[in-house]
Structure formats: C-alpha cells, structure tokens
Amino acid sequence: MSTLVHPMPTDTPEVRRYNRIKRWLGISDGVIGFAVLVLLLVTGWTAELRDWAYRGAWQHYFLAIFLYVLMFSVLLKLISLPLDYYGFRLEHQYNLSNQKLRSWLWDETKGWLLGLVLGGIFVEIIYGVIRVAPQRWWIIAWAVFIGLTLLLARLAPVVLFPIFYKFKPLENDALRDRLTRLSERAGTRVRGVYEWNLSEKSKKANAALMGMGATRRIIVADTLLAGYSDDEIEAILAHELGHHVRKHILKGIVVQVVITFFGFWLTNQVLHFVLARNWFPDLEARLYDFANLPLILIVATVLSLLLMPAMNAISRKHEREADRYAWENISGIDPFITSMQKLADQNLAERTPNKYVEWLFHSHPSIGRRVTAAEEWAKSRQST
C-alpha cells in the first residue's frame, strides 16, 4: 500500500490572527480575574462583602457563605462579560459561529448558574469542614473534592453537557458497525456513540470521549458527520477509542488526585502563614472566616498556572498515543491525514503554531506535528 506525500499547507495570516486574538482573550480573562482576587484582598473589600453577607443572612454562617459566593460570582461575571462578548463576536467575525445573541446569552446564564451551584456547594463544604476540623480540614476537603470530581466525570455526558447541547444515538449503521468491530478487536466496549448537535451553535467540528463506567461514550459533532467521509470519521473514532483503550480519562483523574492533594496542603500552609502575619488586617485570624476565599483562589490559580505546561505535556502525550492507536487500527493513514487537514481548515486551527505557544498553551500537538508523525509511522511500517 502506498502512502501519498501530503504537502503541508501553510497557515494564512487570517488563521494566525484569529488564534492570536483568541490567545490574548484567554490571557486577558485570566489576568483580570486574578487582579480582581488581589484587589478584593488588598482593599479589604472581601471583608466588606462578608459583612454584607452576614447581615443579609441574619448572621447565619452557611447562608452567609452562600450570599458571599453569590455576590462574588456576580462581580466576577460582570467584569468578565465584556471579554466574553468580544469572544462571541470574534467567532462570528471569522464565520465560525451559528449562534444568535439570545442563545449565547442564555448559555452564559446557564453557565453562570451552573458555576454558582457547583462552586457554592464546594465552598460551603470547605468552610463547613474547616469549622469542624480546623487541623485536618485540607485532607477531608481534598477527599470530598476527589469524590465530586469522579461524580462529575460520570454525570458530565448525561447531566452537564445536555444543559448546553442536544445529543442522540448515532444513526449511521455502517459507521456504528465499524466502530463495534474496532472496539471488539481491542477487546473493549464503549457504551455508545452519540451524535452531538453542534451545528446549532458552531461551524466547527469536533469529537470526544467522555463519561465514566456506564456513561462512557464517544460523541461526534453533526458538523463532522456531515462533512467527512466514512473512512475519515472512522479514523477519528479510532483516535477516541484509543483514549478509551489507553485509559486516559482515568490517568487524568489520577494526576488530579496527586496534584490536588499537594494543592490543598499548600493552601492550608499559605492560609496559616498569611493569617499569622496579619498581611490583610481585614481578615479574621480564624481559618473559617470565608472572607479569605480570594486567598484560597489565588493559591489555586498560581498553582494551576505553574503546572499548566506539565498538564498540557501530559495531554499531548495522551493525544499522541491515541493517534498511534488509530493508525494501527485503520487500514491506511490517508483518511487520518485528510481528516486532520479538514479539521484545521474548518476550525481555523494553526497547523504550525509557535513552538513556545504550543508548549505552554496547547493540549493537543499541532496538526502539522500529527500529520508528520503519521507519515513517519507509515514510512517506518513500510521499511520493516
């Protein structure tokens, strides 16, 4: 079997510009959020918010926490809204979006509510634990966090994702049969393949593996099903199956377990250190004063920022493994390569991003690298 040599198209100035703006949007969003946290602490406004919350809650501790989180999340949302709106406009400018303003606003509202509910529950648990076990709170909070992470991973495809998108079982029988054969050969079973109604909102294409145990499934965007040949879709499904076979979701969770253990320990150390030195006089010396929430979030933000290159490197390794799995299990790499090129065109992805940008920000190897790796793999196959 011969493998065609595919010349790598270069990235147009339009593609470069789109990705540069997206990157700056992400960075600005992070910087502004971080600045708000620092400002709340330094000015003592966080203590002001806490006092309002207590008054509004008739001095009831847990109700006050909820009111504090509510005001906090309203504030953050209002501040980040202009940039979020700019992001919405950007997708339209580059003709990547099908979403109307109303639908976008509704998604923003739902996203904010979801964050408020999940964040609220978790903050309540943290300070509840701090109050009853001030010495060991961080271990208990970590264990609860892991439990919630596992629960959410399991619920994501059946509860969280459907809040924003519609799903239905894949109707294409030929494709389903192919995937069943692929997964039987791998000695594994994915519970289902679902069609993801992405076209309602976006012109981009995508596919993913998600869920845990009974909810484990592959989702394929309808935009992908519409524009790609069966061979190309099979190559993409084989990649997703590779994530399943190599247990990448589980491995990701194990990494989370280790990192968050360290993270909660560090948070406890920083809280004690800062409170003992009275750096922020408006905070009470007691750990359970929830006005110190911005401090906890600063520790979490700095830690995840420092770990971002490592986390992305792990993710890129998983992507390379899933690609390799796909090449080994489909008959010829051409559909893989053409599907990658189509994805790059359709999603305005950079084929050859700046090396440092990729290292720092990208969870996937660039399309350029993935295609080159596939060609080299095929060549080494032919020579043996």
How many residues sit close enough to Zn ion to count as binding (CB under 5 A)? 2
Cβ 56 to Zn ion shortest distance, Å? 46
Going residue by residue from 320 to 339, which x/- string records binding to Zn ion, judged by CB under 5 A?
A: --x-----------------
- Which H or E run contains 208? strand 207-210
For Zn ion, the closer of residues 65 and 349 by Cβ is 349
Phi and psi at residue 326, in whole multiples of 5°? -65, -50
Candidates 34-42, 46-54, 313-321, 371-379; binding stretch for Zn ion (CB under 5 A): 313-321
Cα gap 214→230, rounded to integer Å: 27
* Tokens matching residue 248: 């990448």
Cβ 239 to Zn ion shortest distance, Å? 6
- Contact indicator for 366, 357 with CB cutoff of 8 Å: no
Cβ 365 to Zn ion shortest distance, Å? 10
Cβ 124 to Zn ion shortest distance, Å? 35
Cβ 287 to Zn ion shortest distance, Å? 41
Alpha helices in 99-136 (DSSP H): 101-132
For Zn ion, the closer of residues 282 and 319 by Cβ is 319
For Zn ion, the closer of residues 131 and 246 by Cβ is 246
Question: What are the CA-CA distances from residue 72 to residues 38, 61, 90 (Å)?
Answer: 13, 16, 27
Candidates 47-55, 271-279, 287-295, 312-320; binding stretch for Zn ion (CB under 5 A): 312-320
Specify the 3-state DSSP secondary structure of 1: coil
Cβ 44 to Zn ion shortest distance, Å? 46
Pairing type for strands 193-196 and 217-221 reads parallel
Specify the 3-state DSSP secondary structure of 219: strand
Among candidates 21, 27, 165, 31, which has minimal Cα distance to 89? 21
Cβ 242 to Zn ion shortest distance, Å? 8
For Zn ion, the closer of residues 32 and 255 by Cβ is 255
Cα gap 202→218, rounded to integer Å: 19
For Zn ion, the closer of residues 201 and 316 by Cβ is 316
For Zn ion, the closer of residues 178 and 244 by Cβ is 244
Cβ 237 to Zn ion shortest distance, Å? 11
Question: What are the CA-CA distances from residue 81 to residues 75, 104, 112, 344 (Å)?
Answer: 10, 12, 11, 29
Candidates 213-221, 251-259, 287-295, 314-322; binding stretch for Zn ion (CB under 5 A): 314-322
For Zn ion, the closer of residues 68 and 336 by Cβ is 336
Candidates 91-99, 278-286, 299-307, 318-326; binding stretch for Zn ion (CB under 5 A): 318-326
Alpha helices in the chain (DSSP H): 13-43, 45-56, 61-93, 101-132, 137-155, 173-185, 222-227, 230-245, 248-276, 293-329, 334-347, 355-361, 367-383
* Tokens matching residue 376: 């080299």
Length of the chain in residues, anyone? 384
Binding to Zn ion, residues 45-64 (CB under 5 A):
none
Cβ 314 to Zn ion shortest distance, Å? 13
Binding to Zn ion, residues 141-200 (CB under 5 A):
none
For Zn ion, the closer of residues 319 and 334 by Cβ is 319
Binding positions for Zn ion, rule: CB under 5 A: 319, 322
